């Protein structure tokens, strides 16, 4: 029936609106995903950006790290394009379709209201036709009964003439009513047929046509939205492609040769590599000799090795890694001797690395060289976290030259700034002299005097640092650009640079001493060890200890103790069997942990 068709169309159009709302929800969730993705990309880019005024910022001078920085920046732009996708989808799809859905609902409601109204009208016409038909039928039956009654009365001789006349008039009246009902029924029928024809051939088709057009517009609209969905993505593809092209360009700019050369320039020291080790012949008694260019370069004088607690500066071997060098400086190499069977002094051994013990000559000499006592104090003379000496004498020659050159350039820039200020004030003073009403010329004299003093101080500083720079460059060989590129970590050095290495001398017991030379002393970067040592401040005590046995500390880094003696503990056993102790400000060293009983202070740092 027609009502069933209306019900079907109503269900179908409602389903179409549901599909449209579902698509709107889908696009809205897609925009949220794009925003979230863009936010995560931006946070990722920000997370890996170098922190200002940090060591990371210095690392970005290499081409590989600069390429990574460019990648981070491009990822930020890449994230921006996903934000554009989200914004365009929201404005061109979500907002437009939401507004369209509201209009569609109103239009659908209007169409089905017209359909129901037309249906109700035709039903009313049908009811009127039925009522007219029933009235005509009733009047016809009444007329037939009145006619039959008249004929019966007219045939009966016992009925008066008046009754017969009355029956005839009643029959005529009923017949007239039947004729009127017939005419009314005919008119109502014609009207209904006309209304029905117009209903089924005009009104309902028009309503169905409007509903069809509405549904087709909905289908077209959702198709256009899907096309827009793709176009929004396609519009940002060229810009995303440019971002990816920039990342590729940054990757192609990575220059491994340049990066490795920068590392060489940053860390080359200018020291000359050690010479060959002389052969030591033990088949005949002879005094061991040392080559002039060997690891322990000897001098002719016979100065004895300084004490462990002395304040003199030591010299460091430049080619040993920090972790290895520090392990050599922490405690004696040999394992500690076992405690004696008895407490008698005769049972106590001489200690680790006794001169009487046999040892391979080269390793013995190298260990003696690396663990010489002055080196410890050279490291401890460097300030923790400080900048080192003013003349950068704690650095290797090449690094020192660079630092001095940077300092000279910095001072020259400061001088130029001060001179610019002085020139500006001088011009201002001239203006005041010519036009006193603009200002007092004497008011700038004090500032001009200050600037003059500052410039003079800065020039003196420049002369001082240029003198140190000339001293360093005088000791370094003349270098060409080709030589710079091929030098690597080791820089060629003139014979005077050889004397900058530690000068060692063999002592009668086979140990080696170093002679101090302020002018030719080998320097070590303060930054390499500034976290390991303090500036000649003694280590704090962390407890006390009692010597259980007598120990004759005859080797480097050790200290002699007597049985029962009380001493201060300044460093616990690190697992190597040695404990570092102090007797007074100038006497400290290592003893076997098994020789002492340690009482640690719980409140000590």
Question: CA dist 436 to 234, 428, 440, 446, 449, Å?
Answer: 70, 11, 6, 18, 21
Helix (H) / strand (E) containing 589: strand 587-592
Closest CA relative to residue 303, chosen from 80, 500, 503 = 503
The label of the residue with tokens 């010489």 reads: 372
Residue 236 has pLDDT above 90, yes or no: yes
How does residue 569 score in pLDDT terms, banded at 50, 70 and 90? very high
473-498: per-residue pLDDT in tens?
775 544 444 434 333 333 333 433 33
Contact 45, 76 (CB under 8 A): yes
Tokens representing residue 168 in the block: 């005839």
How does residue 585 score in pLDDT terms, banded at 50, 70 and 90? confident
CA distance 178 to 184: 10
Residue 121 has pLDDT above 50, yes or no: yes
Task: For residue 512, report the phi and psi dihedrals to the nearest 5 degrees.
Answer: -125, 140
Contact 411, 467 (CB under 8 A): no
Closest CA relative to residue 505, chosen from 308, 328, 296 = 296
How does residue 299 score in pLDDT terms, banded at 50, 70 and 90? very low
CA distance 564 to 178: 151
Helix (H) / strand (E) containing 58: helix 55-59
Contact 538, 555 (CB under 8 A): no
Residue 547 has pLDDT above 80, yes or no: yes
Residue 505 has pLDDT above 80, yes or no: no
CA distance 469 to 412: 14
318-374: per-residue pLDDT in tens?
444 444 334 444 455 566 777 765 443 333 344 444 333 333 444 444 444 344 333
Helix (H) / strand (E) containing 584: strand 578-584
3-state SS assignment for residue 281: coil
CA distance 492 to 494: 7
The 3-class SS string of 68-135 reads HHHHHHHHHHHHHHHHHHHHHHHHHHHHHHHHHHHHHHHHHHHHHHHHHHHHHHHHHHHHHHHHHHHH
Q: Do the bridges between strand 297-298 and strand 512-515 make them parallel or antiparallel, or are there none, so unpaired?
A: unpaired
201-227: per-residue pLDDT in tens?
999 999 999 999 999 999 999 999 999
Q: Is the pTM of this model over 0.75?
A: no
How does residue 176 score in pLDDT terms, banded at 50, 70 and 90? very high
Closest CA relative to residue 112, chosen from 221, 8, 217 = 8
Q: Around 334, how many Cα atoms within 13 Å sit in the side-chain half-sphere?
A: 23
238-282: per-residue pLDDT in tens?
999 999 999 999 999 999 999 898 888 888 777 777 888 888 878
How does residue 70 score in pLDDT terms, banded at 50, 70 and 90? very high
How does residue 387 score in pLDDT terms, banded at 50, 70 and 90? low
How does residue 527 score in pLDDT terms, banded at 50, 70 and 90? very low
CA distance 5 to 205: 12
Question: CA dist 173 to 41, 148, 165, 184, Å?
Answer: 99, 13, 12, 17
What per-residue confidence (pLDDT) applies to 475? 58
Residue 154 has pLDDT above 90, yes or no: no
What per-residue confidence (pLDDT) applies to 374? 37
Residue 587 has pLDDT above 90, yes or no: no
Residue 304 has pLDDT above 60, yes or no: no
Q: Mean pLDDT across the chain, nearest whole number? A: 76
409: which DSSP letter? H
Q: Which of 374 and 83 is assigned the larger pLDDT? A: 83
Residue 129 has pLDDT above 60, yes or no: yes
What per-residue confidence (pLDDT) applies to 15? 95
404-457: per-residue pLDDT in tens?
888 899 899 999 998 998 898 888 888 888 888 877 777 888 888 888 889 988
93-119: per-residue pLDDT in tens?
999 999 999 999 999 999 999 999 999
What per-residue confidence (pLDDT) applies to 193? 93
How does residue 552 score in pLDDT terms, banded at 50, 70 and 90? confident
User: Helix, strand, coil % (nearest 5) of the chain?
Assistant: 60, 5, 30
């Amino acid at each position: 029936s027609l009502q069933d068709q209306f019900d079907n169309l109503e269900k179908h159009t409602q389903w179409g609106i549901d599909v449209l709302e579902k698509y709107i929800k889908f696009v809205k969730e897609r925009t949220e995903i794009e925003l979230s993705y863009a936010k995560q990309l931006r946070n990722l880019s920000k997370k890996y950006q170098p922190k200002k005024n940090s060591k990371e910022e210095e690392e970005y001078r290499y081409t590989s790290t600069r390429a990574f920085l460019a990648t981070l920046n491009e990822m930020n732009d890449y994230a921006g394009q996903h934000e554009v996708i989200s914004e365009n989808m929201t404005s061109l799809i979500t907002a437009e379709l939401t507004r369209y859905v509201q209009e569609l609902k109103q239009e659908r409601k209007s169409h089905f209201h017209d359909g129901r109204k037309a249906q109700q009208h035709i039903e009313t016409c049908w009811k009127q036709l039925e009522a007219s038909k029933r009235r005509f039928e009733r009047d016809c039956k009444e007329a037939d009964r009145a006619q039959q009654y008249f004929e019966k009365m007219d045939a009966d001789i016992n009925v008066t003439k008046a009754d017969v006349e009355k029956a005839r008039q009643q029959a005529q009246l009923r017949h007239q009513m039947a004729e009127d009902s017939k005419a009314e029924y005919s008119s109502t029928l014609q009207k209904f047929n006309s209304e029905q024809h117009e209903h089924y051939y005009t009104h309902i088709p028009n309503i169905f046509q409007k509903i069809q057009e509405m549904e087709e517009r909905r289908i077209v609209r959702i198709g256009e939205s899907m096309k827009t969905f793709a176009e929004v993505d396609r519009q940002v593809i060229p810009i995303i492609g440019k971002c990816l092209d920039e990342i590729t360009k940054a990757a192609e700019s990575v220059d491994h040769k340049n990066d490795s050369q920068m590392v060489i320039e940053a860390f080359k020291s200018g020291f000359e590599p050690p010479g060959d080790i002389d052969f030591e012949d033990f088949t005949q008694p002879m005094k061991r000799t040392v080559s002039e260019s060997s690891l322990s370069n000897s001098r002719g004088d016979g100065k004895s090795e300084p004490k462990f607690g002395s304040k003199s500066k030591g010299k460091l071997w430049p080619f040993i890694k920090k972790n290895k060098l520090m392990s050599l400086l922490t405690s004696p190499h040999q394992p500690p001797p076992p405690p004696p069977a008895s407490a008698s002094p005769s049972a106590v051994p001489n200690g680790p690395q006794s001169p009487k013990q046999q040892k391979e000559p080269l390793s013995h000499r190298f260990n003696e060289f690396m663990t010489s006592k002055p080196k410890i104090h050279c490291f401890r003379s460097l300030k923790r976290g400080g900048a080192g000496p003013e003349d950068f004498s704690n650095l290797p020659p090449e690094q020192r030259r660079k630092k001095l050159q940077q300092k000279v350039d910095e001072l020259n820039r400061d001088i130029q700034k001060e001179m610019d200020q002085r020139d500006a004030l001088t011009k201002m003073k001239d203006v005041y002299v010519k036009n006193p009403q603009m200002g007092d010329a004497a008011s700038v004299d004090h500032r001009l005097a200050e600037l003059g003093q500052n410039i003079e101080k800065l020039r003196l500083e420049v002369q001082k640092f240029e003198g140190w720079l000339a001293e360093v460059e005088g000791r370094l060989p003349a270098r060409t650009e080709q030589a710079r590129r091929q030098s690597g970590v080791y820089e060629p050095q003139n014979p005077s640079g050889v004397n900058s290495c530690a000068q060692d001398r063999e002592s009668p017991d086979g140990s080696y001493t170093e002679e101090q030379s302020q002018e030719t002393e080998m320097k070590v970067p303060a930054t390499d060890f500034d976290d390991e040592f303090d500036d000649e401040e003694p280590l704090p005590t962390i407890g006390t200890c009692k010597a259980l046995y007598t120990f004759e500390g005859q080797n480097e880094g050790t200290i002699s103790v007597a049985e029962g003696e009380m001493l201060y503990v300044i460093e616990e056993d690190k697992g190597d069997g040695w404990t570092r102790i102090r007797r007074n400000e100038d006497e400290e060293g290592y003893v076997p942990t098994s020789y002492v009983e340690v009482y640690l202070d719980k409140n000590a740092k």
